[in-house]
């Protein structure tokens, strides 16, 4: 732990994922910051690092350069539409409003090499507005943020250490308790705290309690996402919201543990079950489709694609890792492809013929899917995928600045939450999830919390 020049930091940030944005912005505004991170492997093992680095931004200069007309109001309308009006409107509005400014700040202040993703559209976004780094890799994104933090003398990074508790003195924060791997604890004076420790996906008890439909799915997220913020916040009297919300993913390739990705679908691929049959409209979104895969015989599916789809998906490091793992199997013939996975060859052949007719506009999709793209051409490939829980999206109730609220909507002064530690804007369950609904609340709320904190402590 470096010496930032003072014994009492202005802001303590728990979690070195999206919380690093808060640390950087707070330091930029003149505060001293201590970041407390539980995992020494956070740069590759937390949920920010494991993401595809998709950050929604509405009305950015990258969109303008591409001739794309977008605005925070349009983005908010998309959130309302995808969640069927179930999202918290105040928080959703604040995040839609800050999204473009966040992306610009990340590029101009944190020097992240961001660009607009225009090669395909994510379900639910009416405009291309997801921005990402080369390789579309969360590791690259987090490495850039970590480098910027290490270069900032006003920020100390304490790793490995866990924020164990927060204590108030009357109406404001007095100190925090930090725990270390050897079991000893330390009380550290604090003026404000940001809880950015993600959700509770790594806590089987809490998953079974609040997200029971995904209790049988593989968890593919940080092992440190144990519900620390939920425990600490509720002990302080905080309210909670949307605890049943989560991001699932229907395209985890095992045993490699790589992400085949939903670009495979959006470029024209489709999923079949162990019987060789499609079972729904894949284009609704990868989060809600995870539970559909979980319901299939054996709880797995195949993504069927071709060389065109394969090549288009190589823009994603996750997909390149999946290819490198040997998970894809190729064949000139659908029946042969089916036999390589132990699937009935006649059924898969019929399914592929039906999908070809739909893609050519010669038949209606029985599941209502639209936007197929060109029909698949031999050689064909398939990859076995399993449903996964990526992260929970319910948490402490916050206002538009990330301040943690009590049930009566009064503010717990000096306590903020962001990302999976806070309630999301995805509504209830998985179906309201839009691409970027993990990173925008993590990075955007961190930015807003830092700015409010600097003003409050100013």
Residues 49 and 182 in one domain: yes
Residues 313 and 358 in one domain: yes
Spell 271-304 as b/e; 16+ CB within 10 A means b. Answer: bbbbebbbbbbbbbbbbbbbbbbbebeeebbbbb
Rounded Cα–Cα distance for residues 298 and 386 (Å): 10
pLDDT in tens, 324-366: 999 999 999 999 999 999 999 999 999 999 999 999 999 999 9
35 contacts 16 by C-beta, under 8 angstroms: yes
Residue 243 lies inside a defined structural domain of this protein: no
Residues 259 and 271 in one domain: yes
Contacts of 429 (CB under 8 A, 6+ apart): 244, 245, 246, 288
Using 50 as the pLDDT threshold, list the residues of the chain that sit under it: 1-6
What is the residue range of 449's domain? 11-200+393-457
Give the model's pLDDT for residue 6: 45
Residues 441 and 345 in one domain: no
Rounded Cα–Cα distance for residues 355 and 277 (Å): 10
Contacts of 207 (CB under 8 A, 6+ apart): 200, 201, 214, 215, 219, 389, 392
- CATH number, domain containing residue 102: 3.50.50.60
Residue 117 lies inside a defined structural domain of this protein: yes
Residue 238 lies inside a defined structural domain of this protein: no
Residue 218 lies inside a defined structural domain of this protein: no
Residue 343 lies inside a defined structural domain of this protein: yes
Residues 353 and 436 in one domain: no
Enumerate the β-bridge partners of residue 398.
404
Residues 280 and 299 in one domain: yes
Residues 321 and 399 in one domain: no
Specify the number of domains making up the chain: 2
Give the model's pLDDT for residue 312: 96
Residues 274 and 194 in one domain: no
Residues 416 and 340 in one domain: no
Of 339, 360, 389, the position where a domain reaches its end is 389
Residue 26 lies inside a defined structural domain of this protein: yes
Of 389, 414, 431, the position where a domain reaches its end is 389
Give the model's pLDDT for residue 335: 97
Residues 317 and 376 in one domain: yes
Residue 219 lies inside a defined structural domain of this protein: no
Residues 298 and 445 in one domain: no
Residues 59 and 172 in one domain: yes
pLDDT in tens, 5-24: 347 899 999 999 999 999 99
Q: Where does residue 354 rank: exposed (0-12), middle (13-18), buried (19+ CB within 10 A)?
A: middle
State if pTM tops 0.85: yes
- CATH number, domain containing residue 291: 3.90.700.10
What tokens were used for 303?
Answer: 């993504």
Of 389, 412, 443, the position where a domain reaches its end is 389
Residue 38 lies inside a defined structural domain of this protein: yes
């Amino acid at each position: 732990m470096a010496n930032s020049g003072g014994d009492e930091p202005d802001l303590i940030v728990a979690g070195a994922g999206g919380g690093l944005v808060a640390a950087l912005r707070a330091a930029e505004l003149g505060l001293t910051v201590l970041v407390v991170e539980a995992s020494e492997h956070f740069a590759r093992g937390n949920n920010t690092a494991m993401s595809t680095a998709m950050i929604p931004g509405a009305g950015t200069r990258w969109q303008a350069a591409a001739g794309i007309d977008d605005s925070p109001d349009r983005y908010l309308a998309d959130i309302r539409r995808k969640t069927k009006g179930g999202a918290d409107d105040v928080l959703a509005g604040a995040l839609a409003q800050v999204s473009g400014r966040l992306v610009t700040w990340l590029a101009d202040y944190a020097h992240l090499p961001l660009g607009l993703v225009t090669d395909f559209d994510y379900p639910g976004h009416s405009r291309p507005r997801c921005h990402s780094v080369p390789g579309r890799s969360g590791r690259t994104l987090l490495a850039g943020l970590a480098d910027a933090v290490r270069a900032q003398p006003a920020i100390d990074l304490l790793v490995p250490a866990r924020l164990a508790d927060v204590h108030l003195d009357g109406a404001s924060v007095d100190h925090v308790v930090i725990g270390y791997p050897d079991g000893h604890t330390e009380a550290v004076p604090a003026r404000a705290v940001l809880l950015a420790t993600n959700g509770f996906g790594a806590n089987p008890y809490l998953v079974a309690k609040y997200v029971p439909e995904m209790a049988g799915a593989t968890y593919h997220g940080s092992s440190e996402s144990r519900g620390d913020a939920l425990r600490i916040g509720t002990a302080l009297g905080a309210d909670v919201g949307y605890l049943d919300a989560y991001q699932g993913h229907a395209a985890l390739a095992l045993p490699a543990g790589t992400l085949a990705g939903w670009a495979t679908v959006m470029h024209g691929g489709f999923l079949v079950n162990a019987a060789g049959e499609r079972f729904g409209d894949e284009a609704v979104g990868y989060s809600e489709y995870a539970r559909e895969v979980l319901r299939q015989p054996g709880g797995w599916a195949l993504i069927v694609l071709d060389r065109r789809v394969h090549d288009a998906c190589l823009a994603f490091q996750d997909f390149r890792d999946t290819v490198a793992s040997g998970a894809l199997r190729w064949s000139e013939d659908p029946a042969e492809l089916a036999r390589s996975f132990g699937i009935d060859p006649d059924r898969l052949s019929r399914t592929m013929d039906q999908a070809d007719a739909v893609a050519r506009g010669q038949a209606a999709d029985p599941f209502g899917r639209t936007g197929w793209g060109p029909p698949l051409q031999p050689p064909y490939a398939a990859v076995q995928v399993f449903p996964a829980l990526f992260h929970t999206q319910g948490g402490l109730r916050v206002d538009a600045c990330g301040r943690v609220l009590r049930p009566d909507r009064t503010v717990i002064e000096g306590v903020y939450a962001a990302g999976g530690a806070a309630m999301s804007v995805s509504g209830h369950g998985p179906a309201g999830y839009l691409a970027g609904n993990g990173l925008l609340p993590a990075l955007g709320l961190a930015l807003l919390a830092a700015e409010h904190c600097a003003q409050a402590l100013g």
